[in-house]
Structure 1
Amino acid sequence: MKKQSLFSLLLATVLFTGCSSSSHAGEPPAPEKDTYTNPVVRNSLPDPTIIRAKDGSFYLYATEDVRNLPILKSSNLVDWTYIGTAFTNNSRPTFEPDGGLWAPDINYINDQYVLYYSMSVWGGEWTCGVGVAVADKPEGPFTDKGKLFRSNEIDVQNSIDPFYIEDGRKKYLFWGSFRGLYAIELSADGLSVKPDAEKKRIAGTAFEGTYIYKKGDDYYLFASIGSCCEGVNSTYQLVVGRSKSLFGPYVDKAGKDMMENGYTVVIGSNERFVGNGHCSEIVQDNAGNDWLLYHGVDRNAPQGRVLLLSQIGWDANGWPYVDGNSPDNQAAIPVFK
């Protein structure tokens, strides 16, 4: 779940002062770095989603602790510049009038940028839902196309956390929270549910924040368990299961089905960072290394959920892992030419 905090009351321009590492006019450029330090952004950016646009830059979107969904830009996944919001007060979605915009998912479909989002009030599990917006450029402006469905319309309680994927030339949306994870086929343009499509349940009641990654012949379902939004008491962890089919069954390392709440932990907590979860898309750098962004709570500055970066490895049996099963304080920087 994606609870907005008091942090969201601050102005975005104040929140992201110092977010970019760019040099000031007239100063020599900063030397290239060999390492980065977590958090890569100290401001609250829950539930990140990213895309590499045609200009080669990465664009990141997050739950609106900055109202109207913040957008940041980077060339290396480490140095991020705040560039605006996906919506304005006048253009933001309205199907849940008092709702917040949570857990966006950015994609490039049919020559346009397509942003799926959840809209909900905290605890409004039957009135929340998933909507979609489009833009010609990754920085927007995004035009809302309205809701795809609400919880009470699709009969899935707490319909949040959308994730889009294409498989076998078909388009699918996955979503859900601690009432189950589900999937449904979308129309050819990705902007509506395919007529007569039937939803499929793929996981039990322990998970939210679906992200599915295909590697070789295997599908990996990344999700989050625990509490997201209790500050230093948050228990969020990033977990995974694996399947030979997009729709499962997904099982953990011990063979337990995720429909029965089986899971393998990828990222847990450590002395510095807790409540770590809800990952972005996996990005591969020019050295062939895989990287993952996600949010967590920094015990040293526990206001909001900060942006963390980790390298993902793959063991001899094909399971993803992060060294130490938790965020590094410092690590080698991704390689992007």
Structure 2
Amino acid sequence: MKTIPFFLALIWLLMVTCGKKNVPQEPQPTGTGPSANPVQYRNPVFEPILADPSIIKGTDGWYYGYGTEDDWGDGKGNRLVPVVRSLDLVRWSLVGNAFTAKPVWKAEGGLWAVDVVRVNNLYHMYYSFSLWADRNPAIGLAVANSPAGPFVDKGKLFFSEEIGVPVSIDPHYYEENGKKYLFFGSYSSQTVQGTYAVELTADGYAVKDINQKTNIAAGDFEAVMIHKRGNYYYFFGSKGSCCDGAASTYNVRVARSENLLGPYLDQAGKNIVQRGNGTLILQGNSKFAGPGHNAKIITDKNGTDWLFYHAIDKMNPKVSSGASRRMLMLDKLSWVEGWPVIANGVPSGDIQAGPEL
């Protein structure tokens, strides 16, 4: 049998080792994975804060969750989009922050209400860049090779004044038939208001035509999420106050359409481009205030749908920094006669059987 000379073997080993150091590796699943039986849980599934959640399954087998920039009151200052992960959608652990530094293309503002999606083999994070009562908030994009980050900022897609929609925040990405769309918008009392949709370029890095936008919903909605089921597109949006501690009135309402860009009608047949419409499916109760800003629906192996959202414990509504404790919540989403339903229309507080993955 032929043998490799020692010095050649050593060179080969060094080349392989050095090569591995230059290849970014995604974290691998560790610990106890999902079992045949669903894991039981009780809301919240993560605290103190994971506001305006976005949830995605990475190619590494983990589910990742992302939240709005907040000061958790633990002495570590504002977390630049906190990242958590889970194998079973019930037990979540903190990974870190999505950003190592705040983007500099806007002078002031927080990183809010992100939507993380996999586009062209990269993880895209569409994010809001805004202050409270900001006259010209914006939406930006950052990308990463791994869902754990760090995300590298690619700059702005648009400012509110550029696209002509007041309070342009809460981005939501949707792709269909080779076309990429961004839904966005938030509460506004101005004439040009509400939720809109624009088409993106093929790489998802920019708006295809900033002058071509479609009004989807009125200005009493925000936090849009579109879900396709059967022949219908379902619009999920939040109304009310998101961040007033125990006094928060956030709630989730839905409408549906046979076309992605609408019109979206509620269960009473009313178009949600008019204020006051939308079918209520989730509101607060005696324990939890302000349930809303839901993530994309996750479907388990049995075909059961699950909805992540945030809500506030009325008995412990704020952290020491003054931020509302908008905790990560999970509930089963059923479908009755073609419409989504959450049991009793309020967040669950008892022990529940979790998703079967």
TM-score normalised by structure 2 residue count: 0.83
Instruction: Find out whether 1:221 has 2:235 as its counterpart.
Output: yes
Q: CA deviation at 1:197?
A: 5.5
Aligned match of 2:93:
81
Aligned match of 1:70:
82
Q: CA deviation at 1:211?
A: 0.2
1:275 to 268, 271, 290: 290
Tell whether the 8 Å contact from 2:38 to 2:356 is kept in structure 1 after alignment. Answer: no
Return the letter of the residue paired with 1:36.
Answer: Y
Instruction: Find out whether 1:110 has 2:125 as its counterpart.
Output: no
Aligned match of 2:203:
189
Point out the more displaced range, 297-306 or 272-281. Answer: 297-306
Q: Following the alignment from structure 2 to structure 1, what is the Cα–Cα distance between the partners of residues 346 and 312?
A: 12
Aligned match of 1:327:
347
Aligned match of 2:314:
299
2:140 to 101, 124, 131: 131
Q: For residues 34 and 167 of structure 1, do their structure 2 counterparts lie closer, same or farther at Cα, with a shift above 3 Å needed? A: closer
Return the letter of the residue paired with 2:301.
Answer: N
Q: CA deviation at 1:299?
A: 1.2
Q: CA deviation at 1:61?
A: 0.6
CA deviation map 1:2-28 (0-9, x unaligned): xxxxxxxxxxxxxxxxxxxx79xxxxx
Tell whether the 8 Å contact from 1:185 to 1:197 is kept in structure 2 after alignment. Answer: no
Return the letter of the residue paired with 2:63.
Answer: F
| Other structure's SS at 1:260 match | coil
Return the letter of the residue paired with 2:329.
Answer: L
| Other structure's SS at 2:161 match | helix
Q: Following the alignment from structure 1 to structure 2, what is the Cα–Cα distance between the partners of residues 59 and 313?
A: 23
Tell whether the 8 Å contact from 2:297 to 2:305 is kept in structure 1 after alignment. Answer: yes
Aligned match of 2:299:
284
Q: For residues 326 and 58 of structure 1, do their structure 2 counterparts lie closer, same or farther at Cα, with a shift above 3 Å needed? A: same
Tell whether the 8 Å contact from 2:65 to 2:85 is kept in structure 1 after alignment. Answer: yes
Point out the more displaced range, 213-222 or 94-103. Answer: 94-103
Q: CA deviation at 1:331?
A: 1.2
| Other structure's SS at 1:146 match | strand
Tell whether the 8 Å contact from 2:198 to 2:210 is kept in structure 1 after alignment. Answer: no
Tell whether the 8 Å contact from 2:272 to 2:278 is kept in structure 1 after alignment. Answer: yes
1:240 to 243, 248, 254: 254
Tell whether the 8 Å contact from 1:160 to 1:176 is kept in structure 2 after alignment. Answer: yes
Aligned match of 1:149:
158
Return the letter of the residue paired with 2:326.
Answer: R
Tell whether the 8 Å contact from 1:96 to 1:127 is kept in structure 2 after alignment. Answer: no
CA deviation map 1:65-115 (0-9, x unaligned): 1521000010111100101111013xx212222200000000000010000
| Other structure's SS at 2:317 match | strand
Tell whether the 8 Å contact from 1:132 to 1:191 is kept in structure 2 after alignment. Answer: yes
| Other structure's SS at 1:161 match | coil
Q: Following the alignment from structure 1 to structure 2, what is the Cα–Cα distance between the partners of residues 167 and 288?
A: 21
Q: For residues 318 and 279 of structure 1, do their structure 2 counterparts lie closer, same or farther at Cα, with a shift above 3 Å needed? A: same
Tell whether the 8 Å contact from 1:39 to 1:306 is kept in structure 2 after alignment. Answer: yes
CA deviation map 1:248-271 (0-9, x unaligned): 111111101101131011111111
Q: Following the alignment from structure 1 to structure 2, what is the Cα–Cα distance between the partners of residues 196 and 327?
A: 38
Q: How does 1:7-18 map to 2 (within 5 A)?
A: none
CA deviation map 1:116-150 (0-9, x unaligned): 000001101x3211000000010111110000000
CA deviation map 1:272-295 (0-9, x unaligned): 111000001100112221101100
2:330 to 309, 313, 335: 309
Rg comparison, structure with higher value: 2
CA deviation map 1:170-217 (0-9, x unaligned): 000000011310000000000111146501111111100010000011
Q: Following the alignment from structure 1 to structure 2, what is the Cα–Cα distance between the partners of residues 118 and 82?
A: 22
Aligned match of 1:11:
none
Q: Following the alignment from structure 2 to structure 1, what is the Cα–Cα distance between the partners of residues 51 and 171?
A: 14
Identity of aligned pairs, percent?
46
| Other structure's SS at 1:177 match | coil
| Other structure's SS at 1:212 match | strand
Q: Following the alignment from structure 2 to structure 1, what is the Cα–Cα distance between the partners of residues 47 and 62?
A: 20
Q: For residues 209 and 196 of structure 1, do their structure 2 counterparts lie closer, same or farther at Cα, with a shift above 3 Å needed? A: closer
Instruction: Find out whether 1:41 has 2:62 as its counterpart.
Output: no
